[in-house]
Structure 1
Amino acid sequence: MNSASAVFLATIPSPERGVWYLGPIPIRAYALCIIAGIILAIWWGERRWVQRGGAKNTVIDIAIFAVPFGLVGGRLYHVITDWWRYFGPGKNPVQALFIWDGGLGIWGAIALGGVGAWIGCRRKGIPLPAMADAIAPGIVTAQAIGRIGNYFNQELYGAHTTLPWGLEIYQRFDPNNPSIPDQGPTGVAFGHIPLQDSPVHPTFLYELLWNLAIAGLVVWADRRFKLGHGRAFALYVAGYTLGRFWIELMRTDDATHVLGVRVNVWVALLVCASAVAYIVLARRRGPRETPESLRGKQDSAEATTSDEADDSGSSEPKAAVSTQDESSTERKTE
């Protein structure tokens, strides 16, 4: 075995494709990862919300608003910052709608998803910061799962490396015509031909591991310091953006630059600083929200109705006792 073969065997191979077909139906790894991440985030957020004193199924109700808003926001951010991929000579603007081919900006997803969550929280009568604290570790874990989709799409990687965990990236071709190169998610790596810079830094894997570490940090800090009023969510944002800053600097895939630096590097710095400032300022709000404040309008109304029912149920015996006392008084008077 020559040295080149030894190096190849020490690297991480890429999947030969990111899309499979069940008859005419495409099964996309990226979409499956996004769906799995959303399901886990809702499930974990629901458990944490109930543990904090909230009502069951509240997170599911909020997700009805937050998830579609987040998907739209994530796609909008991607299209706005990478507009040149979809608009201009030789481009197809309709592909800007093809969310299943990859391309979701987390900044837009969090921003517009937060708007959806705010609408849901307003309807339920519960504080948005408390809901954000409950779902924080689930969101960053969902992001980690989403990075697996990037692995199948052969995207979000860094420069050439000789490290043993380097990622092999292959030339992909049109599945219907192996003579036409197609590095998109629908391409197939016939022959597993490495690209020129292969192997490369698997920056998607670095971010995946970092996200899982941040999820653990948020859970630990939340239990240790009883974080409330959005501080657990702000800790997630600060931790995630700190990692995204250095990982983004390692990436070599095409991206929009501002002042010679990838736009997401600037966004990560700004968002990280804002999150740290929020953590400091939110301490003035005092201890974590009480369970009573998490019950919402509907649950509070049900509790009030229950109390009224108890009162009305006990009024008849009281009236009966009063009548008996009056009758007794009348007999004594007679």
Structure 2
Amino acid sequence: MIPFPDISPEIFTIHLFGQAFSLRWYALAYLVGLLIGWWIIAALMRRSRLWGGTAPMAPGKAEELLTWVIFGVILGGRLGFVLFYEPAYYLANPLQILRIDEGGMSFHGGFVGVVVAAWIFCRRNGIAPLRLADALAVATPVGLGLGRIANFINAELWGRPTELPWGVIFPGAAAQNCPGVEGLCARHPSQLYEAGLEGLFLGLILLVLVRAGGLRRPGLALGVFVAGYGISRFIVEFFRQADARFITPDNPLGHVMGGPVWGITRGQQLSLPMIVVGLAFVAYALSRPKVGDDTA
């Protein structure tokens, strides 16, 4: 078992006018992930040959796109968490919806938020939505990986109990009251599993796809990303502790569909449609000729 490293969730704190303002690793992960994503998109737009001709938009437009994406991530991520995980609580306490600083963001909600924001951006600027979606797909895994590392530093979204040698003894309630375990228990560092699958591995797949001319097939990178994320999240959910609100004595694994032993969690439930939609985009893209081919 590995003791949890002594890392504070806050990088630094300053006090102004009697108020404390902290920069947290989670906020920094969002900021750095968005900035790297912006840089990747701008770089892709400067390489017309990757697109089989003309890039979907001018590189300078990436800055305006970043503003839209930020709003989509924050609004979609927060509202997704409210609707998917704790609707009853927030219905009774609507002002708490605004307390983003206390945590509570959903990737699936953030994904929907970015889709809506990007679609509006495309309509306003006359950009082909599917081609811009491919660029966003290539740029996203970096931010996902950084966000999961920040989850680990925050000691949140930890995994199920394990006796494997790389199990981590997380602080607080995570180390207590594990079924069948006396004393402190170790858990899967599922945040790092997700960082490896959703961030590093999926990002490398998309990079190879781009170098192989994948952007010349509109919708292919988008489909690979959506299906890849869904598959990665579905796998990791077998090791990740389900939300406490879904766990009961009769349902210790927190399944929302199926039985208490053979069933699926809320994260898996939300990932299944992503896998289907992603594979549909892949099939559509492969059925069309490459942009720039003489047959196009």
Q: TM-score, normalised by structure 1?
A: 0.71
Q: How does 1:13-28 map to 2 (within 5 A)?
A: 13-15=4-6, 17-19=8-10, 20-23=12-15, 24-28=20-24
Contact 1:74 1:109 in 2 (8 A): yes
- Which of 28, 33, 39 is 2:29 aligned to? 33
Give the equivalent residue in structure 2 for 1:285. Answer: 288
Aligned residues: percent identity?
28
Give the equivalent residue in structure 1 for 2:206. Answer: 218
Secondary structure, in 3 states, of the residue corresponding to 2:238? helix
- 1:170 partnered with 2:171: yes
**Matched AA of 1:21:** T
**Matched AA of 2:36:** L
Structure 1 stretch displaced more, 250-259 or 235-244: 250-259
Q: Deviations over 1:211-230 (max 9, x none)?
A: 21101001102221433312
Q: Deviations over 1:139-172 (max 9, x none)?
A: 121111111221122111111122232122112x
Give the equivalent residue in structure 1 for 2:227. Answer: 238
Give the equivalent residue in structure 2 for 1:114. Answer: 115
- 1:64 partnered with 2:44: no
CA drift of 1:69 comes to: 1.9
Structure showing the higher helix proportion among its residues: 1
CA distance in 2 between counterparts of 1:124 and 1:237 reads: 24
- Which of 226, 235, 259 is 2:257 aligned to? 259
Contact 1:18 1:153 in 2 (8 A): yes
Distance 1:87 1:136, change over 3 A: closer
Q: TM-score, normalised by structure 2?
A: 0.79
Unmatched tracts of structure 1, length 5 or more = 1-6, 172-182, 184-192, 291-334
CA distance in 1 between counterparts of 2:292 and 2:131 reads: 7
CA distance in 2 between counterparts of 1:150 and 1:64 reads: 24
Q: How does 1:311-326 map to 2 (within 5 A)?
A: none
| Higher RCO (C-alpha under 8 Å, 6+ residues apart) | 1
Secondary structure, in 3 states, of the residue corresponding to 1:199? coil
Give the equivalent residue in structure 2 for 1:195. Answer: 176
Flag the structure with larger Rg. Answer: 1
Secondary structure, in 3 states, of the residue corresponding to 1:140? helix
Contact 2:82 2:90 in 1 (8 A): no
**Matched AA of 2:14:** L
Structure 1 stretch displaced more, 28-37 or 246-255: 246-255
CA drift of 1:85 comes to: 7.7
Contact 2:220 2:285 in 1 (8 A): yes
Give the equivalent residue in structure 2 for 1:307. Answer: none
- Which of 202, 205, 209 is 2:192 aligned to? 205
CA distance in 1 between counterparts of 2:257 and 2:214 reads: 41
Contact 2:222 2:281 in 1 (8 A): no
Q: Deviations over 1:35-86 (max 9, x none)?
A: 1111111111211122133422122222222220221011111111111683
Contact 1:14 1:168 in 2 (8 A): no
CA distance in 1 between counterparts of 2:5 and 2:38 reads: 30
Give the equivalent residue in structure 1 for 2:252. Answer: none
Structure 1 stretch displaced more, 19-28 or 141-150: 19-28
Superposition RMSD in Å: 2.4
Secondary structure, in 3 states, of the residue corresponding to 1:250? coil
Distance 1:221 1:12, change over 3 A: farther
Q: How does 1:66-81 map to 2 (within 5 A)?
A: 66-81=69-84
Secondary structure, in 3 states, of the residue corresponding to 1:162? coil
Equivalent residue pairs, number: 259
Distance 1:194 1:262, change over 3 A: closer
CA drift of 1:16 comes to: 5.2
CA distance in 2 between counterparts of 1:270 and 1:76 reads: 19
**Matched AA of 2:133:** A
Contact 1:214 1:239 in 2 (8 A): yes
Distance 1:251 1:57, change over 3 A: same
Secondary structure, in 3 states, of the residue corresponding to 1:22? strand
CA distance in 2 between counterparts of 1:14 and 1:168 reads: 9
Give the equivalent residue in structure 2 for 1:133. Answer: 134
Give the equivalent residue in structure 2 for 1:152. Answer: 153
Secondary structure, in 3 states, of the residue corresponding to 2:122? helix
Structure 1 stretch displaced more, 203-212 or 126-135: 126-135
Secondary structure, in 3 states, of the residue corresponding to 1:205? helix
